[in-house]
Amino acid sequence: MKLLITGGAGFIGSAVVRYIIENTGNSVVNVDKLTYAGNLESLTSVAENERYSFEHGDICDRAFLEKVFDIHQPDAIMHLAAESHVDRSIDGPSEFIETNIVGTYTLLEVSRKYWNNMDASRREVFRFHHISTDEVYGDLDGTDALFTESTPYAPSSPYSASKASSDHLVRAWYRTYGLPVLITNCSNNYGPYHFPEKLIPLVILNAIEGNALPVYGDGSQIRDWLFVEDHARALYSVVTKGVVGETYNIGGHNEKTNLEVVTSICDLLTEMNVPLPAGLDAFRDLITFVPDRPGHDLRYAIDASKIEQQLGWTPQETFETGLRKTVQWYLENSNWWERVLDGSYSRQRLGNI
């Protein structure tokens, strides 16, 4: 099986690529534009594998995509390419509209044309797997409700609105054209190779360097945290075993407030005997509350019973075990994140097309 993965140099995409190459016999074609969040150094462990190939390009470029499809002849698409940082979407939504909506439309149309020209046996097994977010559902009232696959959409940010739009496009291409699609909506991911603008890596690296640990509002916003390698396993289960036309929610069963996440990292750094920056008595002293961002959702929580019951997937990591692995990884891989912070990672080897 040959899987074409868009956004395979990103945080979640690279985890999926590594998982497939290291744990299956399948081949991967990684298509990535290499924006600021795309990093080929996250794929060093698989880059020389004969079952891996990389093509540098934009999913909004139809001619480029058609050439990739023609050369590689994929059996399935895993669409992860997206602009994904909420703060950036508030400051500049246009790139989110272009990549997340127009890019998904372009990929759907190229996939539909490709699928229509397949022979019957290959058409039967072809899949278009669209990877989305729980943020399309808006936020939850109280502490007991959970997002299910039938929760109405109520996006709050330009980012989540653009992802909701892409979800609707994918469902429409299934309903109207019969394209065999699958959709997954996941909770907040964390783990190794996470770009340092996101909460967990930002807090780890700021704490190590003695910089402020910014917390929006009072830090009471609740998120369900999913270890990225658990997510990669779930996505592979869906693309290989999922029922066409279905949506699967993927969550980690780990609801934590943002403040709990930050204090947990501080305590882990102390437990691991990481040296305190000069003048500090504790890492927690670096916590700094800042004005909340506009439209900040209060609580996300996933009901993942469908994927557990139908496909047999469950997360292997608790928040505590996953966070410990994550902190340890950043402590041991300064060569990766230092090159991200100084920008040198962006001078990367490009693909063939």
**Span 161-177, mean pLDDT?**
98
The model's pTM? 0.95
Residue type, 130: H
Give the model's confidence band at 234: pLDDT under 50 very low, under 70 low, under 90 confident, else very high.
very high
Q: What per-residue confidence (pLDDT) applies to 85?
A: 82
Give the model's confidence band at 168: pLDDT under 50 very low, under 70 low, under 90 confident, else very high.
very high
According to DSSP, residue 221 is labeled -
Cβ neighbours of residue 308 closer than 8 Å, sequence gap 6 or more:
314
Q: Helices (DSSP H) in 27-97: which residue ranges?
A: 62-72, 86-91, 94-96
% of the chain residues with pLDDT over 90: 90
Rounded CA separation 22/230 (Å): 14
Residues acting as catalytic residues:
134-135, 159
Give the model's confidence band at 142: pLDDT under 50 very low, under 70 low, under 90 confident, else very high.
confident
Q: Is 119 exposed, middle or buried (0-12, 13-18, 19+ CB in 10 A)?
A: exposed
As a dihedral over the C-alpha atoms of residue 216, residue 217, residue 218, residue 224, rounded to 10 degrees, the angle is: -50
| For residue 348, pLDDT beyond 70 | no
| For residue 271, pLDDT beyond 60 | yes
Q: In CATH, what is the architecture of 2-194+225-254+298-319?
A: 3-Layer(aba) Sandwich (3.40)
Dihedral sign, Cα of residue 110, residue 16, residue 1, residue 247:
negative
Place of tokens 């916590």: 287
Which sequence spans correspond to the domains of the chain? 2-194+225-254+298-319
Q: What per-residue confidence (pLDDT) applies to 57?
A: 98
